[in-house]
Amino acid sequence: MANSVDRLFEKVLAQLPDLEIDEDTSWPDISNETDDVLDNPPDDDDEGRLYPYREIISQDRGFDKLTGGITVPRVHEEDKELLDGGIRSRGFEAIAFYKSKRFQKQKPFFGKWGVFYINEGLTHVAWLISQTYPGYADPRTLARAFLRAHEHFHFRADLTTLMLEATLGKHLYVPVRRRFRRARTYFVEESIANRQAYDWAKQERIGIEEFARDFMLCQPNAYARFLEPIADLTGEWMANVVDSQPPRCPPRNDLAPWVTSTPKEFLRQSVCPEWVIYPRSLSNWIDPACITPPVKEVSEGEKFLKVINGKLRCLQRPWEKTKSHLLINKDLPGLNFKPWKKDGPRRYSVKVDDGNRAHLENRGDGKWLAYAIGSHTELGHD
């Protein structure tokens, strides 16, 4: 049965002119990223099984009754590598994504729209939370709500754009996504979605702020900008959507307050469908190329040693600690170890302390060369 959101989309979209197709709208200086899942979905036979979100919760509760407690399993090691690599390369969208009602008749999962969670992604995040906060009542519930807080903002952004389209009488949602289709991680909508998830995690009754902060700082580009002033982020989003402006453009401060002003009747969870995907194979959803290479040996280059033995002598101990953690477990959220494409392929960045980072080059066979260390500004981080 159609709900209020279904009817709203049908009414507004029916009033808009035919959508023009323009294939030359990507931002040329950053248009080199992996396709979004909506651009390059798995084949029908490879999608896997799909279940309504509420059914999964019921199944978990039934299993808990049988086992006499809450079970938080760990995913297989090969899936863990895929998940961690996907999150570092693509952000939240590697493990959950929002599909607009506009694309209901497109893949993946023809005929369905709403928020989609990858089952292994939910399991992995729940396990990470259980390791960070041993003894918390139900990490699975926290993991689902954490991912929902991010993805539900995409639903809200869709509605905001729909209202702008109704007002201006032209398409905005599809054109802006075409412009960012090869640079999705630069779209500031992801910053605001992460901010929503972070603000949810900071609540005293939730209490997973530290985990959320580390988890999202591991993510690429705009995803990691969630700590910037919210007015700047929402203003930039409005400039992207309404004025077709590129990333880091001057904000539309006049429109910024409307971005997070979703009417209460549309904030009910029931109006946006939620689904859990049980993939036939996780690699059908996350490109194995996203896997972070192993770290078995880290050496320092000549320029690196000159800096750390000179003006940044104070970073010698923090760097040794970071290097030790990389060798033990490169996927620790607190390391914020992620690709650094600004310096070229095979380059990565890692946190040294709260104000400084180091850059490393992957030399293959688990060998890495640290070639730069310094403050966020010195190394080109925004």
**Residue range 206-234: mean pLDDT, rounded:** 95
**Residue 380, in any domain of the structure:** no
In the chain, the number of structural domains is 2
Same domain, 107 and 227: yes
pLDDT at 153 over 80: yes
pLDDT of 36 reads 78
* Residues contacting residue 311 through CB under 8 Å, at least 6 positions apart: none
Same domain, 191 and 86: yes
Q: State pTM to two decimals.
A: 0.90
Judging by DSSP bridges, how do beta strands 274-278 and 297-300 pair with one another? unpaired
pLDDT at 210 over 60: yes
Q: Count of alpha carbons within 13 Å of 56, Cβ hemisphere only?
A: 20
Judging by DSSP bridges, how do beta strands 96-99 and 49-52 pair with one another? unpaired
Q: Which of 284, 308, 328 is the last residue of a domain?
A: 284
Same domain, 204 and 155: yes
Same domain, 315 and 249: no
pLDDT band with cut points at 50, 70 and 90 for residue 28:
low
**Residue range 29-46: mean pLDDT, rounded:** 76
The more confident residue out of 290 and 65 is 290
> Looking at 108-117, 176-185, 313-322, 351-360, which range is the least confident one?
176-185
Task: Give the tens place of pLDDT for each residue, 103-147.
Answer: 999 999 999 999 999 999 999 999 999 999 998 878 999 999 999
β strands within 87-178, DSSP E: 96-99, 114-118
Measured distance CA(215)–CA(212) in Å, rounded: 5
Domain of residue 191, residue span: 4-284
**Residue range 184-192: mean pLDDT, rounded:** 95
Same domain, 155 and 227: yes
pLDDT band with cut points at 50, 70 and 90 for residue 73:
confident
Same domain, 118 and 161: yes
CATH code: domain of residue 352: 3.30.2310.20
Class of residue 343 by CB neighbours under 10 A (exposed 0-12, middle 13-18, buried 19+): middle
Same domain, 20 and 122: yes
Tell me what the pLDDT averaged over the chain comes to: 91
pLDDT at 57 over 80: no
Same domain, 274 and 322: no
pLDDT band with cut points at 50, 70 and 90 for residue 1:
very low
